[in-house]
Amino acid sequence: MKELNPQFLESKENKQHLIDYLLGVADNYLILGQRLGELCGHGPNLEPDIALTNISLDMLGQVRSFYQYIAQLKGDKTTEDDIAFLRKEREYKNVLLVEQPNTDFGYVIVRQFFFDVYNRMFLGALQQSADETLRALAFKGIKEASYHERFSGDWLKRLGDGTEESHQRVQQAVNDLWVYTDELFHTTKADDAMIAAGVAPDMLQLREYYYEKVEDLLTTATLKIPEVEYFQKGGKEGLHSEHMGYILADMQYMQRTYPDSKW
């Protein structure tokens, strides 16, 4: 396992690339956690309602660890709350997939499954990072990620191979959300720098395996694989969909209205 050179972070450029890379990882957890949090009390029955709420809490727990590491790297008075709540829309680096709305339960499950398969693969690969802190975060999060993938995968099979209505609704969700999946493997300048340094895994090497896993389960769920010519991207560069502003308006309201609030 490659170890990070202690002098690596003495370079301002390297440190900024690491911060930008971490934001790209952590913001996915924050925004998806926020989306799932909106569903508390609105599940189709008690079991998935509680499960989705707990997954939301898992996501927020993961993002705290990443934001704390970013605050440590910045070395100023920046806090995890500042990073979470006081940035502007273009400063968030999450993929477009996680900000898509909770149209119905089928959309929630498909969005979650598409992300969960990627996230479990990502955390598994991150365990080989040259950065000791990231290795620890990956080891900590992999068990939760495995549960998330089982949960969303099981529900996808139930909905796809269920009633005529559930099949139709979840197929529509797959058709609409498929165009956002490829951005998971898009790399930014910061990503490329961290891959070269051995800090970040090269997820592009796992892209084919990702689609194999996803397509296998969709086939089991009697769902069709969409055929698309172009995929959507832009979120990792700060170019978001129309939904992002509404998410931030809701999420940031208390912190911006009552600055430095203590709970």
pTM: 0.94
Where does 12-224+233-257 sit in CATH, by number?
1.20.1260.10
Residue 114: per-residue pLDDT: 98
**104 HSE (CA, 13 A, CB side):** 13
Mean pLDDT by runs of 10 across the 263 residues of the chain is 72 93 97 93 80 94 95 90 93 97 96 98 96 95 96 96 96 98 97 95 96 97 93 95 95 87 65
Buried b (16+ CB within 10 A) or exposed e, 65-82: bbbbbbbeeeeeeeebeb
Q: Decide if 15 contacts 24 (C-beta within 8 A).
A: no
Cβ within 8 Å of residue 73, ≥6 positions away? 9, 15, 18, 19, 22
- The reported pLDDT for the residue numbered 11 is 86
H or E stretch including 20?
Answer: helix 12-37
